[in-house]
Structure 1
Amino acid sequence: MDKNQALILLRGLLGEITTSTDSAALDRYGSLREVDAKVREAKHVFEAVEGLPRTFVGEMSTDTDFDVQSRRVRLEALAGYIRSAIKFIESGSIAKPQKVILSPPDVSKLTVTLPNLKDAIERRWREAQKCIHVECFTSAVIMMGSILEGLLLARANLAPAEAYQSPKAPRDRQDKVPAIQDWSLNSLIDVAVDVGWLKTDRGKFGHALRESRNVVHPWVEVTTRANFDLATCKTSWGVLEASVDDLLASVR
């Protein structure tokens, strides 16, 4: 959650539990249970703000004011924590989350058939993460799709006979199966699922990543109204990681 959204939520909460004179809004909360619900709501917001010290929630959990059998005491204590959080956020003291670049997995047993493919995959693995960190989300998704396609193609080249014999293998107008390097990502995913290199559910999510990757064409981006964000990238990254795990596990 970014700081602007957090400030809106926290100010809204503060307005709900206090009056215009900053006293506890006792008339709005008829029981301790209702007050506790607001305490939990505030904790969820605190936990969602990246860079806000975990001490906000930790101190609240041990603060004896929240054990007192008094709505006023609990509301005043909660208001104090919310004001502190707002002040902390407004001051710019929130620590920026570290932009960690995760090391790529060892895909060497998949890429042995094509020299330098391993290096290309590792470079794109890091570049995809860099794109996410600078909020180039479309570029990140396109990069992830290219990694998946490259590794699926590499896996098919390790067992071409198995790939060609799959009923999911593509066929041209002469009803012949084209060379593996000419297969689309769609066909590569279908064949990988059919022969057991990818789990079935992974194939379904892989197709979602493929469709997202297709925004490499501006026409597709416009006609599909693609609007990728951090959540899109997190989902796509999870699909990629799981698919790579499947492919590596499939190589005996």
Structure 2
Amino acid sequence: MENIYLTKTEIIDLVVEYNSNDTKQMLYFIENDCNIKFDIIKVKSGIALDNFNISIYCYKLFYNNKKSNKDFTNRYSDDKYCVYNYKAKDVLIELFKLLYDEDIENIKNITLKMKERKHIKENNSINVSSKNIVKNMSDINNYNNLDDHIENRPEMINIITELEKSKENIGYIVKEDPEFLKVIKYRLEEIEKSIKYKMPLTAIILSGSTLEGILLYIANKFEVNFKQSQSSPKNKSNSTKEFDDWTLNNFIDVAHDIGFLKIDVKKLSHNLREFRNYVHPYKELENNYHPSIEVSKIFIQILILAINEIIEKLNEQN
């Protein structure tokens, strides 16, 4: 990890991104986690402007007996922490001008290690959730006995919280299409309502269609990868079908084949696809099964797991 070469610009972007563009958090991270003890000092105040005395307080970053070139100003009070009001990247650029090369290298290495730990922690969380769902879904085909296996499971309790997180995170997937992002967020809100008002069939159908919409969006974004996959559906002339002719089954298989869905979530997504067919009344009549609200929570969890894995894959590519 420590042998990774990055330019100063890349290190700045890395640190800013890791701290979510939060200047206060970033400076705390550099001072405490990276042990870079800089200061913010006042350099002047009370500037006259057009015969009026206006109190303007100016501060600079101070480190290694050097001051930053840029002034950080506050018009209203003597408060050095006005620097928090400036963009994180602008502040870090000024600070990097004062640091030794070994300081910058240290910041880089610590940031990379912290990102790796966070990544491992998130993966472990996803894997635990996936294993829990697989355990609950082990006899998914035995519809009539399913309720006995999942009722009051603790991993289902926080489903609303997980949906809220998905609404916040879905923007990482749907970046280039704000209108489509609104539609997906609205559907996630509708899924949440269906749980609150105990409408399991609505929750399942919406979860399946939302997954299909997200996978179609990813397919359009990575069209070459999807269409060159060995799992992509072919027509009679052995050419890859256009996306309009793909089924949810096709999108799931190809998404797994090119690394957007892992094997467990692929299998679970197919179970969601099968239950999504309950949108047809005769399918429900044929199976003589009426899903409970607890069963619907399983399928919502599958959608959430799929969203998390797609985000994970996109982060790897960035």
TM-score normalised by structure 1 residue count: 0.58
1:116 aligned partner, one-letter code: E
Structure-1 residue corresponding to 2:248:
185
Structure-2 residue corresponding to 1:217:
280
* Residues 226, 172 of structure 1: alpha-carbon distance in 2 compared, 3 angstrom cutoff: farther
After TM superposition, give the deviation of residue 105 of structure 1 in Å.
3.2
After TM superposition, give the deviation of residue 226 of structure 1 in Å.
3.0
Structure-1 residue corresponding to 2:293:
230
Structure-2 residue corresponding to 1:208:
271
1:217 aligned partner, one-letter code: H
Structure 1: tracts of 5 or more residues without a match: 1-47, 49-96
Alignment of 1:17-166 (within 5 A): 102-103=163-164, 104-112=167-175, 114-166=177-229
Q: 1:172 aligns with which of 235, 248, 255?
A: 235
1:117 and 1:125 mapped to 2: Cα distance? 13
1:245 aligned partner, one-letter code: N
Structure-2 residue corresponding to 1:8:
none
Q: Is the 8 A contact 2:199 2:293 kept in 1?
A: no
Deviating above 3 A after TM superposition, structure 1's stretches of 4 or more consecutive aligned residues are: 99-102, 112-115
1:132 aligned partner, one-letter code: I
Q: How many residues align?
A: 157
2:225 and 2:205 mapped to 1: Cα distance? 28
Structure 2: tracts of 5 or more residues without a match: 1-151
1:237 aligned partner, one-letter code: I
Three-state SS of the structure 2 residue aligned to 1:171 is coil
Q: Identical aligned pairs, as a percentage?
A: 30
1:111 aligned partner, one-letter code: V
Matched, 1:194 2:257: yes
After TM superposition, give the deviation of residue 113 of structure 1 in Å.
5.0
Q: Is the 8 A contact 1:113 1:158 kept in 2?
A: no
* Residues 178, 113 of structure 1: alpha-carbon distance in 2 compared, 3 angstrom cutoff: farther
2:236 and 2:175 mapped to 1: Cα distance? 32
Give CA deviations for 1:5-30 in whole Å, capped at 9, x if unaligned: xxxxxxxxxxxxxxxxxxxxxxxxxx
Q: Is the 8 A contact 1:145 1:213 kept in 2?
A: yes
After TM superposition, give the deviation of residue 217 of structure 1 in Å.
1.1
After TM superposition, give the deviation of residue 112 of structure 1 in Å.
3.8
CA RMSD of aligned residues (A): 2.2
2:216 and 2:182 mapped to 1: Cα distance? 15
After TM superposition, give the deviation of residue 114 of structure 1 in Å.
4.2
Structure-1 residue corresponding to 2:47:
none
The answer to which structure has the higher strand fraction is 2
